[in-house]
Amino acid sequence: MIKIATVFSGIGSVEHALIRMKLEHKIIFACDNGDIEINEDNIICKLNEYPKMDYVNRKKIVDDVYNDSKKTNFVKKTYFENYKISEYDFHNNIKFLDGNQYKNQVDLLVGGSPCQSFSTMGYQKGLEDSRGTLFYEYARIIKETQPKVFLGENVRGLFTHEGGKTLQVIKDVIADLGYTLVEPRVLKAIMYQVPQKRERLILIAIRNDIADK
């Protein structure tokens, strides 16, 4: 059985792929804020008051702020309609997700941080963009959960952004995390019988203790 976890989960395309391939799996956790904007300072202040708070109460503080916004997380709603997951294991915000509670429980971690900062349609500020820095949150979750394998996806523009310097930074971070990166490649949706010309850069890395075997 594959124990999978996702961040920036969306409607769960990877989870759906596992179902279509009839691969037995269990969802360990998922995370997506559904583009709901909240005052994160409120959460930070409350968490700082009790630095030794347990995982359950930390999550309750985050969830309460999102619930108080009176906005519906349609991503979460759709996810729950399609996949089996507990309320506790769906998280609203990667910034406040402590991956230590899931350490060594995940086989495959999947996440594609927001791509606008690398896209040809955006301003291409890369990791300097607040959306781009969410890559570091993804890296933190990798470090904390220690999955056997992780998969990241982003726009093709990441390949050439800043003459390849941005991708090299990402490669260096992956190496520092203790993972062996499979050579990045661009995959085209149309090559897999999907009626789109969508191109995505795919990054797959294997934890060193497994890759060395």
- Segment 54-93, tens digit of pLDDT: 999 999 999 999 999 999 999 999 999 999 999 999 999 9
pLDDT at 50 over 60: yes
- Residue 177: which of 159, 150, 195 has the closest Cα? 150
pLDDT at 197 over 80: no
What per-residue confidence (pLDDT) applies to 128? Answer: 47
For residues 32 and 55, what is the distance between their CA atoms, to the nearest angstrom?
18
Residue 181 vs residue 196, higher pLDDT:
181
What per-residue confidence (pLDDT) applies to 33? Answer: 92
- Which of 51-55, 174-178, 193-197 shows the lowest mean pLDDT across its residues? 193-197
- Which member of 14, 43, 97, 115 is catalytic? 115
Residue ranges of E strands in the chain: 2-7, 25-31, 90-91, 108-111, 149-155, 179-181, 185-188, 199-207
Mean pLDDT of 189-193: 78
8 A C-beta contact, residue 35 and residue 73: no
Place of tokens 């607040």: 130
**Number of C-beta neighbours around residue 108 at 10 A:** 19
Determine whether 31 is an active site residue.
no
Name 52's bridge partners.
Answer: none
Model pLDDT for residues 2-38, shown as the tens digit of each residue: 999 999 999 898 999 999 999 999 999 999 999 898 9
Cα 21 to Cα 65, 152, 159, 188, 195, distances in angstroms = 38, 20, 29, 19, 19
Mean pLDDT of 155-168: 73
What per-residue confidence (pLDDT) applies to 131? Answer: 43
